[in-house]
Structure 1
């Protein structure tokens, strides 16, 4: 419903936790958190709404 609001976005800031490498989703313990983040990023990158947008990716929580 809201995706059309992002039609003229020039940059997307995507933040993903590196701790997710060794964790699973609460709602689906068969799905890795990092894998889920990467799938979401891929979906956003391939979205026609963000075709001309720059993606900035922050990987945090390395401690």
Structure 2
């Protein structure tokens, strides 16, 4: 039974170490994405229109 207490204590300590390492990495900007915003402008965004929908037109009324 004492082995369970030892393993539980060790696992909690290891989990806390990983949690602290994660928090430090987030605060230092490890997960910031600096590459994608600079490349995003190079790709064209294509509009996908379903077969049931008509494309929206902008004021195609004739003025005399």
Q: TM-score, normalised by structure 2?
A: 0.30
Which fold has the larger relative contact order, with Cα–Cα distance below 8 Å and residues 6 or more apart in sequence?
1
Structure with the greater alpha carbon radius of gyration: 2
Q: TM-score, normalised by structure 1?
A: 0.31
Greater percentage in strand: 1
Greater percentage in helix: 2
